[in-house]
Amino acid sequence: MTRTGSPLGRRVLLGVLGVVVLAAIWELYKALGPATGVVIGDLTVLPRTSDLAMPHVWDMVARLFRPVRSAGDDEMMWQAVLQASFFSLGVAAVGWFVGVVVGMVLAIFMQRFRTAESALLPWIVLSQTVPLIAIAPLVKRWGSQIEIGSFSWENWMSVALIASYLAFFPVSIGALRGLGSPDVNHVELMRTYSVGWWATLVRLRLPASVPYLLPALRLAAANAVIGTVVAEVSIGLRGGIGRMIVEYAAAAGGDPAKPWAPIFGAVLVGLLAAGVVALIGLALARYRRGETPA
């Protein structure tokens, strides 16, 4: 089976088309839907269509091309958003990397030792049920205690660490599953070669885990972005999308399109992150020969 994924041009075109379709649905619903939303019983099943809840698409876009504050010399909104996006992306990337490394190490460790798996896995799951808001201040506080020589812990590192806390989880779960996925056939072949666990890992388990690893990496990227943004708010790190979201929320009443700008920024960050993972997927194409083209 050769992969015959559609050409990039078509993918981009269709992707753009998808966004246009969504925008059209948005405007169509805004035009036709009731201002109070569709309420059944006590449940709002479809959103309100007021400008406050659903600003016009063109308003949201136009807002990007006005200054942050109309004070004149302010930079354009899109510039500010772009800057914040890249800041958050950088922090999220560090978090992602740390998370992936930790997640892989954990998965490999659990794959190696049955007991480690049963002892660790519940706690790994458990770690994800601890609300970020509970750990963010702890991380910041403990981080601020660290000062080794010329190295001193900075706030962005706390944010990256929190991002990695969310990012490692899908990797450890996905990789654990993937490492256990090779055919019996192939595991036995390795057994006949009586190669150690390590060689089996490198030659068989890791390659076989690629189909499991790719969605995990992508989820990790998404989680890292989410973790970064939440942590930025939580510990008040300046410069990124998270802080921007909270600050612009204050203007929501009078300038409903403004809070959407950082949301688009967050989406941009996410898309870039997902794009990088897609590139990784491309590089690993030969480990996904059995897959139907995406």
Partner 1 sequence: MKQSASLPRTILAPILLGVLAVALWQLAVVALEIKPFVLPSPVSIATEFSGSVSSVWAASLVTGANALIGLLIGAVVGIIAAIIATVLPITDELSAPLVAAASVIPIVALAPVFYTMFGADKETARQLVAALAVFIPVYLNTLRGLRQARPVHRDLMRAYGASAWQATRAVTLPGAVPFLFIGLRIASSLAVISALIGEYFGGPIGGLGKSITSAAASSNYSLAYAYVLGAIILGLVFYIVTLGLEKLVSPHRASASAP
Partner 2 sequence: MSTESSAQNQPIASTGPAAVSVTGVGKVFASRKGADVTALEAVDLTIAPGEFVSLIGPSGCGKSTLLRLIADLDTPTSGSIEVFGKTARQARIDQAYGIAFQQAGLLPWRTVRANIELPLELHKVGKAERGARSSELLSLVGLADFADKYPDQLSGGMQQRVAIARSLAESPGLLLMDEPFGALDEMTRERMQTELVRICAETGAAVVFVTHSIPEAVFLSNRVVVMSPRPGRIRDVIAVDLGRAEGRGEGLREADSFFEAVVAVRESLHGEAAGAPAARGVDQR
Partner 3 sequence: GCSSSGGSDDSTDSASGELTPVTLQLQWFAQAQFAGYYAALDQGYYKDEGLDVTILEGGADIVPQDVLSAGDADYAISWVPKVLGSIEQGAEITDVAQIFERSATTQISMKDKNITTAADLKGKKVGSWGYGNEWELFAGMQKAGVATDDISLVQQAFDMNGFLAGDIDAAQAMTYNEYAQVLEATNPATGKLFTPDDLNVIDWNKEGTAMLQDAIWADSAKLADDDAYADQTVKFIKASIKGWIYAKDNPEKAAAIVTAAGSTLGESHQLWMTNEVNKLIWPSTSGGIGMIDEDAWKQTVDIAMGTKNETGATVISAEPPASAHTNEYVEKALAELKDEGVDTEGADFTPIDVTLKAGGE
Is residue 146 close enough to count as binding partner 3 by CB under 8 A? Answer: no
User: Which residues, 65 to 94, sit near partner 3 by CB under 8 A?
Assistant: 68-71
CA dihedral for 185, 187, 189, 191, sign (positive or negative): negative
CA distances from 101 to 98, 189, 251 (A): 5, 29, 40
Element containing residue 122 per DSSP (H, E): helix 114-129
CA distance 182 to 64: 49
Gyration radius from the chain CA atoms: 23
Nearer to partner 3, 51 or 188 (CB): 51
Contact call for residue 179 and partner 2 (CB under 8 A)? no
CA-nearest of 99, 133, 105, 113 to 206 is 105
Question: Residue 238 is encoded by which pair of tokens?
Answer: 């300046």
Minimum CB distance to partner 1 smaller for 1 or for 71: 1
Work out which of 208, 235, 261, 273 binds partner 3, going by CB under 8 A: 235
Q: What one-character DSSP code corresponds to residue 67? A: B
| 238 touches partner 3 by CB under 8 A | yes
Among 258, 268, 270, 281, binds partner 3 (CB under 8 A): 258
Residue 286 binds partner 2 (CB under 8 A): yes
Per DSSP, the residues of 217-251 read: HHHHHHHHHHHHHHHHHHHT-SSSHHHHHHHHHTT
Q: Which does 258 bind (CB under 5 to 8 A by kind): partner 2, partner 3, partner 1, none?
A: partner 3
Indicate whether 248 belongs to the interface with partner 3 (CB under 8 A): yes
The least distance separating partner 1 from the CB of residue 263, rounded to whole angstroms, comes to 5
144 binds partner 3 (CB under 8 A): yes
Q: Which of 5, 15, 18, 236 binds partner 3 (CB under 8 A)?
A: 236
CA–CA separation, 160 and 229 (whole Å): 10
| Among candidate residues 190, 215, 201, 218, the one with its CA nearest the CA of residue 105 | 201
Binding site for partner 3 (CB under 8 A): 48, 50, 52-53, 68-71, 133, 136-137, 140-141, 144, 154-156, 232-239, 243-244, 246-255, 258-259
Binding-site ranges for partner 2 (CB under 8 A): 1-2, 183-186, 188-195, 199, 203-204, 207, 210, 286-287, 289-290
